[in-house]
Amino acid sequence: MNSLALINEFLGQPPNASSHGYQIDHILEFCHWFMAALFIGWSTFFIFVLIRFRKRRQPTADYHGVTGPISTHLEFSVVLIEAVLLLGFAIPLWAKRVNQFPPGKEALLVHVVAQQFSFNYHLPGPDGKFGRRDVSFVSNSNPVGLDPSDPAGKDDIVTTGELHVPVNRPVIAELSSKDVIHDYFVPAMRIGGDAIPGSLIPIWFTPLKTGTYEVICAQLCGLGHYGMKGTLVVDTPQDYEAWLKERAELAGGAQPASSPGAPQQPQNKLPQAAGKPEQQPAQPAQSPGQL
């Protein structure tokens, strides 16, 4: 077991599944080994002082203290290491995450709308355009408030609790909230961000491993906070296209030729069977916290 895996297991973190996660893990590893060295060093020094300057050996107090340079050198070394950790690792990584977003054409854009006590996901349909949203349209069957009169929203995909994304493709999640402050946190992706009412806060990550990962709210948001969890499913490109097709059918929209934002590929359209009624849009399950 390498040191990163050891630190992750000690902290209770799942294995990293994103492209940038190893940088987060390296900082955590360095911080914990550094803190361990400080703890052992200062504890050893404290025990030495207790023994060396015990009352029996030195009954009279020495008011001059340490006269050598060793104390100054140790304190300067600690400050220097902390400065290198902050300026050389933490700030550059933070700046990269907030300033260097992937190009919009390459990334999958999804709106995450939090509420007590669930996460709603809004993706564009085959046209690649988000439908207009307004709080006046929010209801149990319309959790993100899509405007029913907006043609761009007819084929949009809305899910609650579960989001599917393709592997090895950047994902930009724009966070917002309908009620109180939440925090969208995906431990395996080493990513998280506050969802604040009235704000649209973007975060991004690139998943590297297919699988199912837990999504949690990391901000105390009410009595049901403990149960505010969801699922992030990282699919192969083929499985993701199948999921998009399924969601488009449930929404009553057109069949997507490819995922939103990806290059379009020709697709043969099959005529609808005569006399077969059109599939009715599925009603989303009632969201917790909605009246």
pLDDT along the chain (291 residues), means of 10: 67 87 84 87 90 78 73 84 84 80 86 95 89 90 91 90 95 95 95 93 94 96 94 96 86 49 39 37 39 34
Report the alpha-carbon distance of residue 74 to residue 112 in Å, rounded: 48
Is the peptide bond prior to 45 cis by the omega test (within 30 degrees of 0)? no
3-state secondary structure labels for all residues of 166-223? ECCCCEEEEEEECCCCEEEEEHHHCEEEEECECCCEEEEECECCCEEEEEEECCCCCC
- Output the six-digit token pair for 23: 């940088």
* pTM value > 0.85: no
What's the pLDDT score for residue 251?
Answer: 67
What's the pLDDT score for residue 82?
Answer: 85
Taking alpha carbons only, the member of 238, 291, 279, 232 closest to residue 262 is 238
What's the pLDDT score for residue 275?
Answer: 38
Report the alpha-carbon distance of residue 149 to residue 263 in Å, rounded: 28
What's the pLDDT score for residue 290?
Answer: 37
